[in-house]
Structure formats: C-alpha cells, structure tokens
Amino acid sequence: MRRIFCLYNSILIFISILIVYMACYSSFDLFQLVKNGEKNSRFLFLASTFTIGFGFWILSFIDMMIKNVYATANYNIPITILSMVVGICFSGMAFYALLDKEKKKRRIYVSAFFFSLSLLSISIIGFYSIGSTVYYQIPQLFISFLLLFIVFFISIWLSFYPVTISATLKKWVRPVCSLLMTGVCMISHFILLSDVSAPEVSVVRDSYQSSFIIYIALFVSVLVLGGLIGTSTLIRERMDVGAINVRDMQLALDESAIVAFTDDNGMITYVNDKFVEVSKYSREELLGQNHRILNSGHHSPEFFRKLWNTIKRGEIWKGEILNKAKDGTLYWVDTVIVPFLNKEGAPYQYVAIRRDITEQKMVQHQLEESVREVSDITYALEQSSIIAFTDKRGIITNVNSKFCEISGYSRQELIGKTHRIVNSGYHSKDFFRNVWQTIEKGEIWKGEIRNKRKDGSYYWVDTTIVPFLDKNNKPYQYLAIRNDITEKKRTEEVLHRQDKLAAIGQLAAGVAHEIRNPLTSIKGYAEFLSMDETEKDRQEYFEIILDEIERVNSIVEEFMLLSKPTVSVLEKKPLLPIIDNVLSILDYQLRKNKIQLNRFYEEPNPFVECDENKLKQVFLNFIKNAVEAMPDGGSIDISVKKGKEDISIIIKDSGIGMSKEQLKKIGEPFFTTKKEGNGLGLMVSFKIIENLNGKVYVDSEINKGTSFHITLPSVH
C-alpha cells in the first residue's frame, strides 16, 4: 500500500510542478498583452493575476494533501479559500506595480516582493487550514523569501524590460524564466514543509476514501492544467500573430524609415539601423543623448518650443526638420512624432518616425529657383514686351496688359480672335504665308510687323514667334513676344530722310551757283527785250518767260537753303498762338474748300524754343497739303498734347491718303502727289523740325486720310 501512496505522491508532485510552470508562463503572457496595450486590458490583468495566484494555491494545496495523505484531517474550508484570495491579491499588487511603463528598478523590487509574499502567504495560511503545527525557523524562512525575491526579480526584469540580447535567445526568455520561478516555488515550499508537523490520528483512512481524494485532486488538477494549457496556447497564437505583424511592420519601418524612441525627457532610448546610417553616429553615441546632437541650427528655438508643446499635450506632431550628421553634412527628414500615453493620459515616451527627404528638398529648391527665374523673366517680359498666346489655329488664348495697352483693345476683345484684328494691311499675303510655314514646321520666326490700333493708328513691333511642341513635335500653341519699335522705325525714317537731304545738299552746293548765274543773265536780257516790245502777244510771251525764270530761281533758292541753312535765332515761344496765326492766314482757303477745322488743345499753353517764322512755314506747308488733299471738302483735326519731356502735334486730314509706295517717298525732292508743286516744301519743313531737335512721322492710308505727327522738345 505504501508503494501505491509513494507512486501517488510522485504523480501529485509532477502535476504540481507542471501546473505552477504553466501558471507562471500563462500569467506572464497575459500580462505582456496588458503591457502592449491590447484591448480588454482590465480582463487580461485580472486573468493574469488569477492564473498565477491560483497556480501558487494549487501548489500549496497538493503539497498539503501529500503531507496529510496517511491521516484523516479536518480541512478548514474558509481558511483554505482565504489563502487563495490572499495569494491572488498579492499577485495582483505585484502586477499592478509593473503597470506604469516608466522603466524604474524600484517597481521591479516592489513586484518581486509581492510575488514572494503571495507564495509565502498561501503556504503559511494553507498549513493552518489542515490544523498543522508550524515550527518557524527564521534562517530557513529568510532563505526561502530571498530565493523567491531574487528569482522573481530576474524573471520580471528579463520578461518585461528591454534587454539587449539576440532574437534567438529572446525566444527562450519566457520558458526559462517560468522554469526558474517553478523551481524556486517548489524549493521554497518544501523548505517551509520541513517546519510543519501533521496532527496525530488514531484511525487510518480506508483505501477507498484515500483513493477518492487522490482522484478528486487529479481531476481538478487536470481541469486546471488543461485550462491553463488551452489559454496559454490561444494567447501564444494571438501573440505570435501580433509579433509577426509587429515584426513585419518594424522590418518595413526599418527598411524605409528612420525610427527613434525617447523617454518623456527626450532622451534617446532606441534607434534603428537606418537612424545610425543616416546620422553617421553609432548606436552607443546616440543612446542616452537627446536630439540636440543632430541640431543643425537651421530652426529657431520657437520652432522646437511649439513642437514640444504639441507632443506634451499628447498630440501627434508632423513637420520637416533639417538635421546635421556627425560629419557635418545636412539632411532633411519628414518627421512624425507620436506620444505614448499612460493611464493618466500623460506621455511617458515618444516614437519619432522620419523619412529622408534630402533629395526631394534639393529638387524642390531647384524647382523653386527655376520657378523664381521663370517668374522674374515673365515679370520682365510682362513689363517690357507685348505677349500673346495662341492655339495651333492662331486663335488668341491669352494676352498681357502691354498688348491691350498698345493695341487699344481690351483683353475680352482680343481673346478668341486671330491677329487679323490688328492687321494694318501693310504686309502682303505672301508675307504672312511665310510666317505660318515657318512656325508650323516648329521653327522660330523673327521679323518686323506693322500693326493697327483700335483707333486706326499704326505701330511697328519687332516680333518673335515661338512654337510649343507636343510629344510628336507638332505645334500645339504659339507664344508671340513683341517689342514696340515704332519710335525706332520713325528714327530710321528720319535718318533716311536726312541722308537724302545731305545728298541733295551736296547736289545743291555743286549745281545751284552754276544755275543761278545763267538765270540772272537770261532774266536781264528778257526784261531788256520786253521793254522794247510793242506787240501784245509777244509781250505775254516775255511775261511767261520771266515767270518761269522766277519759278526756277525759287527752286534754286530752296536748294540753297538745304545746302547752307541760315543760322536761326531760337526763342522761347508759346506754341498755340503760332498755330492759330497760321490757321487765320488759311481761314479763307479752308472755308472756300468746305473744310471743317477741329482743334484739340491741352491746357496750359506749351512753350517751345524755335524760330517763329520758320515754324509757321512748317505748319503752313503741312496744313496746305492737307487742304489740297481734300478737293471735295472734309475735315482737319489739329491736336496738341504736352508730355513730360516733349510736345506732340498731330495734323490729321480726311483726304484721299497715300499708298505704301507713296508714303516711302514722301519728303524726297521733286516727289509730290499734286499736279503742281515740286515736293521741296515738305522736304524743307522736315529739315526745319529736325534742326529744332524734333521728329516728324507721317501715317497714311488710301481713302482714309493722312496724319503728320510732329514731336518738339518742351521748354519748362
């Protein structure tokens, strides 16, 4: 019979060891879920507390049953339950001490103390539940507590606090710690059993009753063991899945992101390989430091103050930071800082996830520089050039304000139209055909074009047309950049006219004297012969001869004026009275030819420095030409406008106008559109204006009239 009881004792001891091992392993697994912040953390906390407390109680209960298996004992159920409750409570206190995620050793000490106290209290109270007598020996009690405390401290430290060990060894931490705790629990419990003596009994229990108790114990143990194994398996599977997910996420982060953990004071507690690679610091140089080690000095203290204020409130901060590596190189990181909060809602650590965006920032900087340059160029073009965009059909899609200003059309009037809206009719169809053939081939066209404003006046533009090509090298739109060269063209015309005048002056210098002397002789003899002539018909012939001689002489006089212009005395004179005086001289002729005169004067009366008589001659020539260009009547508009530096005078008629060919020859000697005249009057007038440092520009169109644009320096 004793062999059977010895066999039962061995089985019970094995079961108790297995139960304690599974209880330690399962409870630590459950509490790890609590530490990881899993859902239902309160339930998991209670489950982990009950599992280890119940495991300790099962160990004590089975060992007491082994101690009392040969005798009948009177079990005190309330005290037995009390021992279990006290043990579970102390286990709960031990786990509660570890709930705060601050990594402080004193919390490990407190937890190890309560775990040790849990096992001892269950054992001691359990002994009293069977009426056993306990003979306390202080050294043995102290050794038992010390062993428990040391093993629990090591197990907690390895299980719940980061330790730098390889991944392979980390897998064995939990099983080894559970085995150590199981071993020390058994040793400590058997040390305490040596101080216990069972009560003496006179009657031995029958074999049936003893076997029944053992079967009951085995059945309960198997149930508990099965429950613990099932729970542990489910938890392990769940944790394995979670661990795989975490590992995959960490691997993905490590491959793509720069990761760092800091405590609530900003001290670095963890960095990944990417952080080490980018910063060029070793892991040992970074751990225990704050992020000032990477401060580039680019950001202001206010920048970091706002950052800290954000994350200390438990909010996520996102932004871009310029850091400095160990070798002094700078790099940009797109940063997300996530605070981890404790149960009070206060941050206890932070994780910073960064992405290296140095190349992106460089590209962005280059792009910004390019955009700035383009913007500057665009602004310069906008201010100085006439810009227009057209589609591939030549329809205007956009114009700048300079285009509107010079053309006189609004943006709404221009967009949707073609450039025919400003066509002056000056250029031939072949000219524009050549333009289109060039740009449709994707080539740039450059040239000068004469355009017409909305008010009918003309202006010249130096034009560059740039085609924009698609992926098939076909133009899809055109950019026309124009510069106003009207003044340049007028200057060229003046220079051309001056060249002609110079040539005529040289001709006059060589020929005038040779013509004048014979004319004088011819005139003298003609007058002498006419004095003796009595026949009336012959007398008329002499008068015609003398008139023609006088006409030739006047032409020679004008040639002499061109070759040797007289030195004029320039005086400051009001302009409007000079013009009005000329108009009063021509008043009869204007009314006779049914010509309406319109004056457009700007006040105040502008002053010019001039020879008054010669300036009157200019206005007289221009206005007489206008009158003679309107044989059937019409209108003459005279406008005077004072600018900052000069005065603009425009004499515009509504006469027959001139063609492009005639306009090119105007001012040349002996060119005139009238039946009478030699063209020298306009030539002399142009010369007078040029001697006054002024300019003359003639604008004309067939059947629409002619305009003389005179510009004279203003005298303040």
559 falls in which pLDDT band (50, 70, 90)? low
pLDDT of residue 326: 92
Which position has the token pair 């507390």? 49
Do 176 and 34 reside in the same domain of the chain? yes
Q: How far apart are CA 496 and CA 113, in angstroms?
A: 113
pLDDT, tens digit (0-9, with 9 covering 90-100), for 2-12 = 443 444 467 66
Q: Lowest-pLDDT range, 22-26, 91-95, 556-560? A: 556-560
pLDDT of residue 677: 53
pLDDT, tens digit (0-9, with 9 covering 90-100), for 53-75 = 888 887 777 766 665 544 444 55
Angstrom CA distances, 361 to 258, 279, 333, 334, 612, stand at 17, 17, 9, 10, 71
Q: How far apart are CA 563 and CA 265, in angstroms?
A: 98
Q: Give residue 495's domain range.
A: 490-563
Do 505 and 592 reside in the same domain of the chain? no
Q: Lowest-pLDDT range, 77-86, 536-545, 649-658? A: 536-545
pLDDT of residue 163: 58
Do 556 and 575 reside in the same domain of the chain? no
Q: Is residue 34 part of a domain?
A: yes
The CATH number for 593's domain is: 3.30.565.10
Q: Is residue 97 part of a domain?
A: yes
Q: Please return the burial class of 63, using the count of CB atoms within 10 Å of its CB with bins 0-12, 13-18 and 19+.
A: buried
More confident of the two residues 493 and 508: 493
Question: Which of 463, 564, 450 shows the shortest CA–CA distance to 513?
Answer: 564
Percent of the chain with pLDDT over 70: 74
For residues 154-165, give the mean pLDDT: 74
Q: Is residue 505 part of a domain?
A: yes
Q: Lowest-pLDDT range, 79-83, 121-125, 218-222, 268-272? A: 218-222
Do 174 and 88 reside in the same domain of the chain? yes
Q: Lowest-pLDDT range, 162-176, 262-276, 380-394? A: 162-176
pLDDT of residue 436: 94
Query: Helix (H, G, I), strand (E, B), or coil: what is residue 68?
Result: coil
Angstrom CA distances, 421 to 394, 407, 431, 453, 457, stand at 12, 10, 17, 9, 13
The pair of structure tokens assigned to 382 is 């906008």
Residues 489, 699: contact at Cβ < 8 Å? no
pLDDT of residue 185: 83
Q: Is residue 380 part of a domain?
A: no
pLDDT of residue 394: 92
Q: Is residue 199 part of a domain?
A: yes
pLDDT of residue 68: 52
The pair of structure tokens assigned to 359 is 């190349």
pLDDT of residue 408: 92
Do the strands 445-452 and 458-469 form a parallel or antiparallel pair, or are they unpaired?
antiparallel
Do the strands 595-601 and 445-452 form a parallel or antiparallel pair, or are they unpaired?
unpaired
Do 284 and 149 reside in the same domain of the chain? no
Do 111 and 195 reside in the same domain of the chain? yes
Which residues are paired to 636 by β-bridges?
597, 653
More confident of the two residues 180 and 381: 180
pLDDT, tens digit (0-9, with 9 covering 90-100), for 658-679 = 887 777 767 665 556 555 555 5
Task: Count other C-beta atoms under 10 Å from residue 237's C-beta.
Answer: 10
> Does the pLDDT value for residue 546 go beyond 60?
yes
Q: Lowest-pLDDT range, 114-123, 506-515, 628-637? A: 506-515
Q: How far apart are CA 107 and CA 129, in angstroms?
A: 33
HSE, side-chain direction, 13 A CA sphere, residue 303: 11
Do the strands 607-610 and 595-601 form a parallel or antiparallel pair, or are they unpaired?
unpaired
The CATH number for 529's domain is: 1.10.287
pLDDT of residue 645: 83
pLDDT of residue 69: 44
pLDDT, tens digit (0-9, with 9 covering 90-100), for 680-691 = 677 778 888 888
Do the strands 634-642 and 595-601 form a parallel or antiparallel pair, or are they unpaired?
parallel
Do 431 and 286 reside in the same domain of the chain? no
pLDDT, tens digit (0-9, with 9 covering 90-100), for 181-228 = 888 888 877 777 665 554 444 434 444 444 555 555 556 655 655 665
For residues 75-80, give the mean pLDDT: 72
Query: Helix (H, G, I), strand (E, B), or coil: what is residue 349?
Result: strand
Q: Is residue 372 part of a domain?
A: no
More confident of the two residues 337 and 544: 337
The pair of structure tokens assigned to 372 is 């700035």
147 falls in which pLDDT band (50, 70, 90)? confident
Residues 121, 113: contact at Cβ < 8 Å? no
Do 582 and 537 reside in the same domain of the chain? no
> Does the pLDDT value for residue 356 go beyond 50?
yes
The pair of structure tokens assigned to 598 is 């319109």
Give me the amino acid identity at 695: K
pLDDT, tens digit (0-9, with 9 covering 90-100), for 280-297 = 999 899 998 888 999 999
Which position has the token pair 């900087």? 365
Residues 583, 596: contact at Cβ < 8 Å? no
Q: Which contacts of 568-573 are long-range, i.e. CB under 8 A and separated by 24 or more positions?
A: 568/611, 568/614, 568/691, 569/611, 570/609, 570/610, 570/611, 570/692, 571/609, 571/610, 571/611, 571/612, 572/607, 572/608, 572/609, 572/715, 573/607, 573/608, 573/609, 573/610, 573/612, 573/615
pLDDT of residue 614: 84
> Does the pLDDT value for residue 592 go beyond 70?
yes
Q: How far apart are CA 558 and CA 555, in angstroms?
A: 5
Residues 170, 196: contact at Cβ < 8 Å? no
Do 642 and 555 reside in the same domain of the chain? no
> Does the pLDDT value for residue 576 go beyond 70?
yes
Residues 350, 342: contact at Cβ < 8 Å? no
pLDDT of residue 54: 80
Do 242 and 154 reside in the same domain of the chain? yes
Question: Which of 358, 361, 357, 355 shows the shortest CA–CA distance to 252?
Answer: 355
Choosing from 484, 516, 536, the residue where a domain stops is 484
366 falls in which pLDDT band (50, 70, 90)? confident
Choosing from 563, 588, 623, the residue where a domain stops is 563
pLDDT of residue 205: 44
Q: How far apart are CA 337 and CA 311, in angstroms?
A: 7
Angstrom CA distances, 116 to 111, 145, 183, 444, stand at 9, 6, 13, 93
Supply the pTM of this predicted model.
Answer: 0.41
pLDDT of residue 420: 92
More confident of the two residues 500 and 159: 159
Q: Is residue 377 part of a domain?
A: no
The CATH number for 472's domain is: 3.30.450.20
Query: Helix (H, G, I), strand (E, B), or coil: what is residue 253?
Result: helix
- CB contact set of 153 (below 8 Å; sequence gap of 6+): 108, 109, 112
pLDDT, tens digit (0-9, with 9 covering 90-100), for 302-335 = 999 999 999 999 999 999 999 999 999 999 999 9
Round the average pLDDT of the chain to a whole number and report it: 79
pLDDT of residue 521: 74
The pair of structure tokens assigned to 531 is 């004095």
Give me the number of domains the chain comprises: 5
Q: Is residue 231 part of a domain?
A: yes
pLDDT of residue 70: 41
Do 500 and 556 reside in the same domain of the chain? yes
pLDDT, tens digit (0-9, with 9 covering 90-100), for 602-655 = 777 888 988 888 888 888 888 888 888 888 889 999 999 888 888 899 999 988
More confident of the two residues 349 and 557: 349
For residues 526-541, give the mean pLDDT: 74
Do 532 and 658 reside in the same domain of the chain? no
Choosing from 453, 484, 515, the residue where a domain stops is 484
> Does the pLDDT value for residue 477 go beyond 90?
yes
Phi first, then psi, for residue 93 (nearest 5°) are -65, -40
